[in-house]
């Protein structure tokens, strides 16, 4: 199993190009199922998760080829409606095929994803929304099963803001009969990016970028040629790593508005941040100041940055209070960061972090994607050597991480 060996203590310095967003690529890849034809997606990051999604699409009968960062997805041969457990259990976002299969084939058999490394992640809103649109779904042998489904427009309000359920119901509504009104939708850039792609396919969506979407179903959609938006979480992770190592880094190919909330937190911590049209430069002080963080749906600080903000706080001057309101159990990085000398007290979903002058390298274990990112950051700032085990978690969501870090002067090596 691959490991990363990092020898810490050097500031990150230079320029890094940010890849396309994993969490925007996955719904757009699913949406290609809605229109029979040959789609072309550019700026698709090469990650374990995008590779897994390619396998899901192929299992359903699509043909997919990759050339550099571009994918060609031919969905003309889609004729299977089963997404098997073996694939869905490795990546929850596989459930995104549910609505497109119901819309296009009138049937689906998609494995329920089950739990995840940090606790339960329900899909009740996905199911309730589809049911409101006329899909009679049963749970059979661990699978969500729908047969002879004809989706009809409906009004559905989300009682919790959910990226995944919003995306799922948008995909259901674009080909449904009549109008669908979705209330209290997620505003994450990944959702808006999906909406833009669906509109380019011929969908009729009003209210994109607001909490209320009105979607008028159409008879058919056409294939698309689209670019995936930049990965705001990758960008924010590099920005936070810069803050933590007293570095100076220019992030290229980014949209600053998409990660404004974490950038503001880093400014509060003492960083100087320069925003340009497609680049952001971060210049860090010798030591960051403690800042308090509460994760929120977009435009707040994302839960996908909670672990990285704890890592920054671990070396900050003062005490930071970091609360995750989205995923209250997502703290598996805390005991691993403690192995590097971090002083963190966890009280439910609130981490109280007393910054220390220096972390010290140690062997640690990656537990999930963003937790792993926080360990890499801590290792970069720590004195001595850290070996991070189980980095397949990192490969799910950070493209060529060690190559990009080495380009910024980090001493990092992949051990096979």
**Helix, strand, coil proportions of the chain in percent (round to 5)?**
35, 25, 40
Catalytic one of 38, 112, 116, 214: 116
List the interface residues with ligand EPU, window 15-34 (CB under 6 A): 23, 26
* Residue 178-217 contact track with ligand EPU, rule CB under 6 A, x = bound: --------x---x---------------------------
Q: What is the 3-state secondary structure (H, E, C) of 141-200?
A: CCEEEECCCCCECCEEECCCCCHHHHHHHHHHHCCCECEEEEECCCCCHHHHHHHHHHHH
Contacts of 46 (CB under 8 A, 6+ apart): 66, 69, 399, 400
**Binding of ligand EPU at residue 293 (CB under 6 A)?**
no
Asked if residues 193 and 229 have their Cβ atoms less than 8 Å apart, the reply is yes
Q: How far is it, in rounded angstroms, from Cα 94 to Cα 112? A: 10
For the CB of residue 276, give the shortest distance to ligand EPU in the complex, in Å.
Answer: 26
For the CB of residue 324, give the shortest distance to ligand EPU in the complex, in Å.
Answer: 9
**Binding of ligand EPU at residue 160 (CB under 6 A)?**
yes
Token pair 């380009």: residue: 407
| Region near ligand EPU per CB under 6 A, out of 161-169, 170-178, 210-218, 241-249 | 161-169
List the interface residues with ligand EPU, window 222-251 (CB under 6 A): none
| Region near ligand EPU per CB under 6 A, out of 155-163, 208-216, 261-269, 383-391 | 155-163
What's the start-to-end Cα distance of the chain, in Å?
A: 6
What one-character DSSP code corresponds to residue 272?
A: E
Q: How far is it, in rounded angstroms, from Cα 18 to Cα 404? A: 9
**Binding of ligand EPU at residue 303 (CB under 6 A)?**
yes
Q: Is 201 a catalytic residue?
A: no
What one-character DSSP code corresponds to residue 32?
A: G
**Binding of ligand EPU at residue 370 (CB under 6 A)?**
yes
* Residue 389-408 contact track with ligand EPU, rule CB under 6 A, x = bound: --------x-----------
Q: How many residues bind ligand EPU (CB under 6 A)?
A: 24
Chain mean position to CA 246: 26
**Binding of ligand EPU at residue 129 (CB under 6 A)?**
no
| Region near ligand EPU per CB under 6 A, out of 62-70, 119-127, 200-208, 348-356 | 119-127
The residues assigned a catalytic role are 116
Give contact residues for ligand EPU (rule: CB under 6 A).
Answer: 23, 26, 93, 121-126, 160, 162-165, 186, 190, 302-304, 326-327, 369-370, 397
């Amino acid at each position: 199993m691959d490991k990363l060996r990092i020898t810490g203590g050097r500031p990150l310095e230079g320029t890094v190009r940010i890849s396309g967003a994993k969490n925007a690529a996955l719904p757009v890849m699913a949406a290609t199922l809605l229109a029979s034809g040959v789609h072309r997606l550019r700026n698709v990051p090469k990650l374990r998760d995008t590779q897994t999604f390619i396998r899901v699409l192929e299992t359903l009968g699509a043909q997919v080829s990759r050339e550099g960062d571009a994918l060609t997805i031919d969905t003309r041969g889609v004729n299977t409606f089963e997404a098997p457990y073996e694939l869905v259990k490795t990546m929850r976002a596989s459930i995104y095929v549910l609505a497109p299969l119901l819309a296009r084939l009138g049937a689906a058999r998609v494995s329920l994803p089950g739990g995840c490394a940090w606790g339960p992640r329900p899909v009740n809103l996905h199911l309730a929304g589809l049911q409101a649109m006329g899909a009679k779904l049963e749970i059979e042998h661990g699978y969500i099963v729908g047969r002879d489904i004809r989706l009809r427009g409906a009004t559905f309000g989300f009682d919790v803001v959910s990226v995944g359920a919003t995306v799922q119901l948008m995909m259901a509504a674009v080909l449904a009969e009549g109008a669908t009104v979705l209330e209290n939708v997620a505003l994450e850039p990944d959702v808006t990016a999906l909406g833009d792609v669906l509109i380019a396919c011929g969908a009729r969506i009003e209210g994109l970028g607001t909490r209320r979407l009105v979607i008028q179903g159409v008879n058919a959609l056409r294939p698309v040629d689209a670019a995936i938006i930049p990965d705001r979480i990758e960008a924010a992770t590099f920005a936070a790593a810069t803050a933590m190592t007293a570095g100076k880094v220019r992030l290229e190919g980014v949209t600053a508005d998409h990660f404004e909330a974490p950038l503001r937190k880093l400014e509060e911590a003492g960083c100087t941040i320069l925003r340009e049209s497609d680049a952001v430069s971060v210049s860090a002080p010798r030591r960051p100041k403690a800042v308090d963080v509460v994760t929120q749906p977009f435009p707040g600080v994302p839960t996908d940055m909670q672990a990285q903000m704890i890592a920054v706080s671990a070396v900050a001057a003062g005490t930071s209070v970091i609360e995750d309101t989205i995923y209250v159990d997502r703290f598996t990085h805390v005991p691993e960061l403690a192995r590097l000398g971090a002083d963190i007290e966890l009280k439910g979903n609130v981490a109280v972090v007393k910054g220390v002058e220096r972390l010290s390298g140690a062997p640690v274990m990656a537990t999930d994607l963003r937790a792993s990112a926080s360990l890499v950051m801590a290792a970069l700032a720590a004195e001595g050597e850290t070996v991070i085990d189980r980095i397949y978690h990192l490969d799910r969501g950070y493209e060529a991480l060690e190559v990009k870090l080495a380009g910024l002067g980090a001493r990092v090596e992949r051990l096979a």
